[in-house]
Amino acid sequence: MLVGYARVSTTDQSLNLQTDNLEKAGCEKIYHDVASGVADSRPGLGELMKYIRDGDTLVVWKLDRLGRSLRNLIDTINNLHDKGIGFKSIQESIDTTTSGGKLVFHIFASLAEFERELITERTQAGLKAARARGRLGGRPSKLDDKGIETAKKLMQDTSISINEICKILNISRATLYRNVKK
């Protein structure tokens, strides 16, 4: 069974173009959402994922209607594949139920993985260069050396509770113990 999915970003846009093409492609059931591509809440897609079964094929008018990003799209299609569900995109002529469609999809997936690895390499190189210049990164400590000394002195006074010390220094218990341990 062919099951369609259509999505528009705003209520000003119309689903007609997509639904007409999905019906023409032979979709027996069509789910839709009016939501931004980056929105996590897409109830129509959620219902579709509950409905679609092994042997069915999910059909979209365009790839960007299904995925928020290339990584999200690849994850979604891999999830479908694991459940025995095919995928077709009308505009891009991708059909993962055919060997050619699988090839095109795997090329996309490989390019996305390559891009992620490049980003990771650049990030690591940037962090290494920053460390070489003496920058450690991360969030600055709430307590400087003077604050740590103050905390240690306050902790020696048993009449002051840990909670009171934390209130005085405006820090959490974890911050207090982490810095005093140094």
Alpha-carbon distance 179 to 177, whole Å? 6
The phi, psi pair for 106, rounded to 5°, reads -65, -30
Alpha-carbon distance 61 to 65, whole Å? 7
Q: Which of 56, 63, 50 is nearest to 26 (CA)?
A: 56
What six digits make up the tokens of 181? 């341990």
Residue 7 burial by Cβ neighbours in a 10 Å radius (0-12, 13-18, 19+): buried
9 is known as an active-site residue: yes
Alpha-carbon distance 155 to 106, whole Å? 60
Q: State the catalytic residue, choosing from 9, 93, 110, 161.
A: 9
Pairing of strands 94-95, 86-89: antiparallel
Residues with catalytic roles: 9
